Amino acid sequence: AQRVTQPEKLLSVFKGAPVELKCNYSYSGSPELFWYVQYSRQRLQLLLRHISRESIKGFTADLNKGETSFHLKKPFAQEEDSAMYYCALRSGGSYIPTFGRGTSLIVHP
Amino acid sequence: DTGVSQDPRHKITKRGQNVTFRCDPISEHNRLYWYRQTLGQGPEFLTYFQNEAQLEKSRLLSDRFSAERPKGSFSTLEIQRTEQGDSAMYLCASSLLSTGQGNYGYTFGSGTRLTVV
């Protein structure tokens, strides 16, 4: 069975500080990993996916198969980054992503 | 077409009543998903369609729940004999499955918040 764990319910940082939102997964095959973000009063939206190796809004995430992790990082947090962040996994044999419970990021001025 | 639309945005119903939600996906998307989200949790998969075919249902989807996508376009999710435990945000998402390119992510609607009193 596939599982996504986001150990932190809340992460609070000051503007300009580095941010790392943790995501660990459990899956024996080759997963596809995603990060979704939900800003206040907005819908859930895709932030980035590991296969594209892209940086979106300054965020990056590297898939570490050895540690089964897909942590989301940003070197300098901005107030507008405050949101709920969800890590999601899609297994190779399914088109259905499994979501973690989410981490609330609060960036203080 | 500006995205995935869900209707209504909010629904308050008495326990035991039936409710129906509607989802209009992005028009060219052939896959449509229903998720449920309760407070403090991430979205939990309920069911999905490829075109008009319902391909998978979660064990979370009890026999009081039924979903349809009759023409491969919009979808409805009906809950019969609602219970207080059904109170949640019901999310719809759609995606495009392109052969050889995989599934690049999902576009979510704003959700329907159901409160059963």
Residue A99 sits at the chain B interface (C-beta within 8 Å): yes
- The SS3 assignment for A71 reads coil
Residue by residue, DSSP assigns B32-79 as EEEEEE-TTS--EEEEEEETTEEEEE-TTS-TTEEEE-TTSS-EEEEE
Instruction: Please tell me which of the candidates B44, B48, B104 has its beta carbon nearest to residue A49.
Output: B104
Higher per-residue confidence, B90 vs A32: B90
Least confident of A25-29, A63-67, B12-16, B38-42: A25-29
Residue B33 sits at the chain A interface (C-beta within 8 Å): yes
Cβ contacts of B108 on chain A, cutoff 8 Å? 43-45
Cβ contacts of B31 on chain A, cutoff 8 Å? 95
Residue A64: CB atoms within 10 Å = 11
Residue B80 has pLDDT above 70, yes or no: yes
Higher per-residue confidence, A29 vs B107: B107
Predicted local confidence at residue A7, as pLDDT: 96
Asked if B68 and B23 count as a contact pair (C-beta separation under 8 A), the reply is: no
Residues contacting B83, CB < 8 A, separation 6+: B15, B64, B116
Band (B100; pLDDT cuts 50, 70, 90): very low
Residue B36 has pLDDT above 60, yes or no: yes
The per-residue pLDDT for range A34-93, each reduced to its tens digit, is: 999 999 989 999 898 887 777 889 999 988 989 999 999 999 999 999 999 999 998 766
Residue B105 sits at the chain A interface (C-beta within 8 Å): yes
Band (A10; pLDDT cuts 50, 70, 90): very high
State residue A51 phi and psi, 5-degree precision.
-70, -20
The whole-chain average pLDDT of chain B stands at 90
**Contact between chains at B110 and A43 (C-beta distance less than 8 A):** yes
**Contact between chains at A102 and B110 (C-beta distance less than 8 A):** no
Residue B98 has pLDDT above 80, yes or no: no
Band (B8; pLDDT cuts 50, 70, 90): very high
Of A23, A18, A53, A16, nearest to A37 (Cα)? A23
Residues contacting A56, CB < 8 A, separation 6+: A47, A48
